[in-house]
Structure 1
Amino acid sequence: MVRGLLRTSNHPQLQNLIKRDPVSYKEEFLQQWNHYNSTRQIFQINPDEQGSHFRELVTFISQARIRSCMRIQLIKVAQFYPAETSEFPSHLSSLLLESYGSLSPDIRHSLLQNLVMLRNKGVITSFDLLKTLFPLLPRTTSSSLRAIIRKTIFTDIKTANQRTKNHKLNRAVQAMLFGMVERGMSGTVEGDKGKLRSTGAAVSSNSGGEAMWAVVLTKELWKKGIWNDAKSVAIVALGCFHPIAKVQTASLHFFLGSDEETEDNDEESDGNTIDVKSLEHKRDIKKKTRSGDKKMRKILKMASKKRKDKSRGKTPNFPALQLLHDPQSFGEKLYDLLQKYDARFSLDHKILVMQLLARVTAYHRLTVLGFYTYILRYLTHHQLRVPAILTALAQSVHALTPPDALTPAVRKLAHEFVHPGVGPEVVAAGLNAMREICRRQPWAMEDDLLGDLIAYRKSRDKGVMVAARGLLQLFREVNPGMLKRRERGKTASMGMSQGNQPAPFGYVEKPAEDIEGLVLLEDHLRSNHGEGEAAGDEEYDENAWDGWQIESESSDSSSDSVGWIDVESDGEDHLSISDSGDEDEKHREELPRNEGFANEAKRTSTLATTKILTPADFALINDLRIRAATKAVEGSGGPAAKRKLASLEAAKKAASTFGADDATAAMFISESDILGPRKKAKADYDERVASIARGREGREKFGSLKGKRTKETPSSSTNREKARNKPIMMIMGSKGVRGKKKQSLREKQRRLRAHIERSRKAHH
């Protein structure tokens, strides 16, 4: 190949020629490479010394010539000379990590672009790039650079897991993030209470920065569906015990299902802090543009979504709770954290720990007896955020919780909340809390105390009356022997006469022989699809999965579900619909009038042996059960049928809210369950605007219609007509009235003659 005249200072031309023939232009490339290498070595000799070499290097690096040489020439042609440029990526990485504070912002951005370009060209691996990006996050103070780093990390990991899971990269990155959290675990717990908040913030910026970013990145990757394994959960679980309260809070919110961000420098807009009125005012006074309108609509939509998410409350992260390693040790560590650092944490932080401990205890049926002694100090009606504390207490109880540990808590609830010296809403909250505790462990209630509590069913306050009746109805079902004979009701009395006894503490129910409602599904398929398809047609099964499979890569929008996770069974039937076999027998006895529904329930279906049930099938089973219960209510099934229908509808609503099956969703309660039915709450801004819009439907535009309906040509009234109808006190000080008082006799005569003349013309 014949070489033409070449100017080595013409970087684009040199780059083009090297790409076309790397061997022939190796000498020119080495000339530029040696120039870059000598400059780098000078900088490495005295990086912190303010001498002539340092000033010369900073000036040289700040010029566009060196940036052009690095970005356009060396980066884009480095793959053609792998032997000479083998150390080039490490040079850029060390320059960023070791001399980050000495570099200008544009040089940092340029070096970051160089590393990303090397990754795109395959010169370095994803792990090599991520090893440089992760340490930069806690060090940078530039929001724009931090946004670029976060986007690069997410894009790189998402691309690596796009077709199939890249387990090698995922394990390496997860190990790196786990190490970032683990390095700060040896510090002293500072807390976030009072004066410790400023101290904790100072420590967080130094030793807790990388742990915070490790938790935030893991949460984001989990939220987007890129990671959904137990190792991701282990990273955040370790962050729950980090000495920095800020890291603890971010980790606790992950398991509680909250989207609340605790990173102060997060560039994403937060709907809870957006001043909508201020933005609208700025939009009114500034120049109107399409881009401004589009941006305003986007911000308002985001703010509205954030308000709705906050009003819905926190939804438990069921997959993360399920994938916890050694839940018993995790729960005991949470309790030790509460007890040991009670004086250092604020009340809000302690409630977060209580909520997570309660949900882990309920989900895995743990036994942490010290928690029920610890929470006694907060069971007072004047305690701040007492509904959240009562919710955590009731939620932590399950069938295997010892009644002896719960009896002191129930007794204190009765003494503190249920007496004439407090308001009716306090009494209702106390009764509802005890009802939820006894629903999970009935043996925690004492006989004499129960008699006093159900006496409040005659209260004039609706909330207290409903709470007391709910407690009475609960014990009619689970243990009517604790009630007086006149309070048991007909069904419970008949059951006791037949020898029915409440299940003792620790009783393990027999495994389910059938899926409740499966008979209804079998009959439905037989009537609609024929016998063959009801027995399990393969094409029908494949179609039934449409719309229920969740892709491994979810969208950026917030979602409670992160996909199906295959886990081993823990002995519980998570596919059953919240009612046990004993309760089914009880409801069958209570519905003697609907013989058809009872006979269907007693029959055992063989559909599960010939057909793989899909999520669509289980959703259809729920609908069929609700239809059957509705028919039972319409057929005079009695109060028991109405309660059955109400429980099925409530379970369906809870399942749709929490994003889990009915049995799992029934474990968790909210503060509204503790507060009970209350007066209609004051509507928020969006609800008021919607109500106003509904009231204006079908109505003419607001404004006066005077003079528009009676005239041929619609027009408004004149100012003279308006002045004629004004009250006298409104015109006493006007110039016209004051002028009439000072009129001469000549002026009065002229006005009178003019009035007579107008009247005469009007009559003729």
Structure 2
Amino acid sequence: MVRPNNQLPENLPQLQNLIKRDPESYSDEFHTQYAHFVSLLEIFALNPTEENKSLEEIVMFIAQVAQCYPHVCEQFPKKLTDLLRNSATVLDPAIRNCFVKALILLRNKNLVPALDILELFFQLLRCQDKNLRTFLQTHIVTDIKNMNAKHKDMKLNSASGTPSLQNFMYGMLKDANPKAAKMSADIMIELYKKNIWNDSKTVNVIASVGCFSSITKVLVTSLKFFLGHDDEDEAGSDSDSENEVDLKGALMANRVNKKTRKGQKQLQQIKKQAVKAQKKKKNAPAFNFSGIHLVHNPQGMAEGLFKQLQSTNERFEVKLMHLDVISRLIGIHDLFLFGYYPYITRFLQPHQRQVTRILQFAAQASHELVPGDIIEPILKTIANNFITERNSSDVMAIGLNATREICMRCPLAMGEDLLQDLAMYKTYKEKSVMMAARSLITLYREQLPALLHKKDRGRQTEAQAERKVRAYGERDVHDTVMGAEALLKDSKTIDLGSDDDDTDSNDGEWVNVTHSDDDGAGAAESGDEEDSEDEDDDDEEEDGDEDAASVSEAEEAEDDEKANEKKKEKADLKMLNQKEAAQELALTRIFTDADFKRINAANLKKTVTSARKRPLEQERSEFVKLNSIEMIYKKRKHDKESRLETVQAGRQDRERFGWKDGRVNENCSKTNREKSKTKNFGMMRHKARSKVKKSFRDKQLAMRKHLLQQKKMK
């Protein structure tokens, strides 16, 4: 191979390019440069605080071509790591950054083990260099993400009995250095969000170590992780709105604009992107449990956080984070922490800072397994401090909204007297209070209508009639698909009899069961038993009629009551048979999407009456939205006078409209154009005329006049 004429030892970029193309031909030159590096490094080690440009250049050169000579460069990473470990804090920042970048290049080429680099980089956090710490954190996250890109490397991540990345990161979370512990927490949280270390082990390490750390920054970061509203959530995740493809706009632009080859190529690319976006929308969404669902010992964590809260001297915002995490743990896992409710009651005052969030925490910590006697003091405190006429209407509405959210999760906490007192605000003069009180009444119409006054219960719906009032601790267990009775009419396997009230009719009986002979026989036997029972009932009625001919009118009335009771029993029996038939239908038939639509429509129809067209059901979510408590109904001011008052109030401290120039001094001279705006029209009339187009005759006369004047002047 022909060598270039220039001197290669002095031109490292060119030598680097040639070595990558043909390593064997330039082996001698590389050995020379490596020996030069060793000598420069020994000299630099004597005085590491000074800057050395030649050392920076040769270090980056060797890092770029180290994969070509692995045996020669075997000790190259060790020399750099030893120097960084021994004198990282006193090194010149430029040299230190150069060594770090060289090690990252070697790591990307798999010439250095990941764990060795990770340990070194965490030691470098003691350096007072914020840019370096940010750079190291980005590299660590990217490196672990690349290692798990194709498949999760469980051997490297969490190898049992051997040093692993996860074990090292968990150990660094307990490090005494605040910066190292904070970076470890940030890295684990970011890897969890990127679905790399999204296992329960990572979550429980953050829960057991991070949430009880003596370092405030680590504590706050860990609590924010369980609250799920980090600042990096929006920045780290690519929103769909940013990636949307405007195909319609591109087609319209292509139709209007000039047809070019470049434009057609761009249009084809946009079409491909639109097809990819459509495919992504059709894919099934991936659901991940939030970190708070993966905690192994939520009761112990809640008790530990509450104990830490009572003894902490942190600022008020950190205490609010404690209250929020504890309330979420109690609400999601149905925990018992009775000391939490008296503690939070102390902050329920209208003048308390962030009081709406504290009301939100009280609602989140409520669930059906908490005894009503525990939560009732909170409701009474809210009623005494918020829902009184000495407060403003907004405060009263917020108190009623908070009461509704608490009772939605624990209906048994409300007493009958208190509920009826709060229901009287349904006719309050302020619209916001009136609407909040009516929402509370609507809730108890569905949950416990017996607690309401008779006039507030409203017209009973079919769903309310079917609903059973549950006692404390009772669970509503369904053995079939609710509302499957709507499919019985079209079912081919199960058919109901006629709806006549005659004694000979088989009301609600199973007439035909075709899926199995044995089941059909069983159904026939059950039908015979019911027929025999009906015959016995008929005999009893006949005997009652014979006796009625010889008894008084009082006995006849008693017989009528018995007949009515029997009719009710038959109606209940018919409903029971319908439920049994629906259960059998659910066991013998696979429901389609159309079937579920009919079931949902039938269930929705049960929740409304002819007078009310909307259902009263209120969904209960895991977390209480702050907007549900702060939502205050305000009537919009439509009259002209009130709107004008608002407009005038907004103009008070605002500058006048008009063109604003960029003058520093407002009193300086102005241009002729600006002066013309304030002059009298008589002074500007001639200029206004000059703008009008002259006719050919006027131009002739003007030219003639001008030439005559020129002639006279001569």
Name 2:419's counterpart in structure 1.
Answer: 450
State which of 391, 404, 413 in structure 1 corresponds to 2:360: 391
Provide the C-alpha distance between the structure 2 equivalents of 1:222 and 1:30, rounded to a whole number of angstroms: 45
Name 2:187's counterpart in structure 1.
Answer: 217
> Secondary structure at the residue paired with 2:173?
helix
Letter in 1 for 2:61: I
Contact 2:203 2:295 in 1 (8 A): yes
State which of 158, 163, 167 in structure 1 corresponds to 2:154: 167
Provide the C-alpha distance between the structure 2 equivalents of 1:122 and 1:681, rounded to a whole number of angstroms: 67
Q: How does 1:67-146 map to 2 (within 5 A)?
A: 67-73=56-62, 76-77=65-66, 80-82=69-71, 85-137=73-125, 139=127, 141-143=129-131, 145-146=132-133
Contact 1:365 1:398 in 2 (8 A): yes
Provide the C-alpha distance between the structure 2 equivalents of 1:36 and 1:608, rounded to a whole number of angstroms: 79
Deviations 1:662-717 (A, max 9, x none): xxx712211221133422799xxxxxxxxxxxxxxxxxxxx9xxxxxxxxxxxxxx
Provide the C-alpha distance between the structure 2 equivalents of 1:131 and 1:612, rounded to a whole number of angstroms: 57
Contact 2:210 2:219 in 1 (8 A): yes
Residue 603 (str. 1) matches residue 582 (str. 2)? yes
Provide the C-alpha distance between the structure 2 equivalents of 1:125 and 1:674, rounded to a whole number of angstroms: 54
State which of 381, 390, 393 in structure 2 corresponds to 1:424: 393
Q: Residues 441 and 29 (structure 1 numbering): CA distance in 2 closer, same or farther, change over 3 Å?
A: same
Name 2:221's counterpart in structure 1.
Answer: 250
Q: Residues 77 and 680 (structure 1 numbering): CA distance in 2 closer, same or farther, change over 3 Å?
A: farther
Provide the C-alpha distance between the structure 1 equivalents of 2:486 and 2:468, rounded to a whole number of angstroms: 30
Gaps of 5+ in 2: 159-163, 238-286, 493-570, 638-657, 659-672, 685-714
Contact 1:127 1:169 in 2 (8 A): no
Provide the C-alpha distance between the structure 2 equivalents of 1:91 and 1:522, rounded to a whole number of angstroms: 81
Q: Residues 7 and 466 (structure 1 numbering): CA distance in 2 closer, same or farther, change over 3 Å?
A: closer
Provide the C-alpha distance between the structure 2 equivalents of 1:357 and 1:524, rounded to a whole number of angstroms: 50
Q: Residues 3 and 331 (structure 1 numbering): CA distance in 2 closer, same or farther, change over 3 Å?
A: same
Contact 1:18 1:77 in 2 (8 A): no
Provide the C-alpha distance between the structure 1 equivalents of 2:119 and 2:62, rounded to a whole number of angstroms: 25
**Could you tell me how far 1:391 is from its partner in structure 2?**
0.6
**Could you tell me how far 1:420 is from its partner in structure 2?**
1.3
Name 1:409's counterpart in structure 2.
Answer: 378
State which of 495, 498, 505 in structure 1 corresponds to 2:472: 505
Contact 2:16 2:64 in 1 (8 A): no
Q: How does 1:697-712 map to 2 (within 5 A)?
A: none
Q: How does 1:162-561 map to 2 (within 5 A)?
A: 162-171=149-158, 172-184=164-176, 207-237=177-207, 238-260=209-231, 318-341=289-312, 344-491=313-460, 502-510=469-477, 512-516=478-482
> Secondary structure at the residue paired with 1:392?
helix
Residue 157 (str. 1) matches residue 127 (str. 2)? no
Provide the C-alpha distance between the structure 1 equivalents of 2:489 and 2:9, rounded to a whole number of angstroms: 84
**Could you tell me how far 1:338 is from its partner in structure 2?**
1.5
> Secondary structure at the residue paired with 2:474?
coil
Letter in 2 for 1:183: D
Name 1:37's counterpart in structure 2.
Answer: 38
Contact 1:138 1:213 in 2 (8 A): no
Letter in 1 for 2:149: Q
Contact 1:363 1:667 in 2 (8 A): yes
Contact 1:19 1:77 in 2 (8 A): no
Overall identity of the aligned pairs, in % = 33
Name 1:668's counterpart in structure 2.
Answer: 623
Name 2:689's counterpart in structure 1.
Answer: none
> Which stretch of the first structure deviates more once superposed, 132-141 or 669-678?
132-141
**Could you tell me how far 1:604 is from its partner in structure 2?**
4.1
Provide the C-alpha distance between the structure 2 equivalents of 1:441 and 1:473, rounded to a whole number of angstroms: 15
Q: Residues 434 and 74 (structure 1 numbering): CA distance in 2 closer, same or farther, change over 3 Å?
A: closer
Provide the C-alpha distance between the structure 1 equivalents of 2:682 and 2:399, rounded to a whole number of angstroms: 70
> Secondary structure at the residue paired with 1:642?
coil
Letter in 2 for 1:434: T
Deviations 1:479-502 (A, max 9, x none): 333334444444399989x9x863
Q: Which structure is higher in RCO with an 8 Å CA cutoff and minimum separation 6?
A: 1
Q: Residues 463 and 16 (structure 1 numbering): CA distance in 2 closer, same or farther, change over 3 Å?
A: closer
Q: Residues 667 and 147 (structure 1 numbering): CA distance in 2 closer, same or farther, change over 3 Å?
A: closer
Name 2:633's counterpart in structure 1.
Answer: 678
Q: Residues 608 and 210 (structure 1 numbering): CA distance in 2 closer, same or farther, change over 3 Å?
A: farther
> Secondary structure at the residue paired with 2:321?
helix
TM (norm. structure 2) is: 0.61
**Could you tell me how far 1:406 is from its partner in structure 2?**
1.1
Q: Residues 525 and 210 (structure 1 numbering): CA distance in 2 closer, same or farther, change over 3 Å?
A: farther
Letter in 1 for 2:150: R
Letter in 2 for 1:229: D
**Could you tell me how far 1:329 is from its partner in structure 2?**
1.0
Q: Residues 611 and 226 (structure 1 numbering): CA distance in 2 closer, same or farther, change over 3 Å?
A: farther
Provide the C-alpha distance between the structure 2 equivalents of 1:632 and 1:503, rounded to a whole number of angstroms: 20
Q: Residues 517 and 37 (structure 1 numbering): CA distance in 2 closer, same or farther, change over 3 Å?
A: farther
Contact 1:33 1:74 in 2 (8 A): no
Provide the C-alpha distance between the structure 1 equivalents of 2:324 and 2:636, rounded to a whole number of angstroms: 25
**Could you tell me how far 1:23 is from its partner in structure 2?**
7.9
Q: Residues 352 and 640 (structure 1 numbering): CA distance in 2 closer, same or farther, change over 3 Å?
A: farther
> Secondary structure at the residue paired with 2:475?
coil
Instruction: Tell me how large the CA RMSD over aligned residues is.
Output: 4.8
**Could you tell me how far 1:226 is from its partner in structure 2?**
2.8
Contact 2:341 2:378 in 1 (8 A): yes
Deviations 1:418-464 (A, max 9, x none): 11111112112212222222222222222322221111111122222
Report how many residues are paired. 512
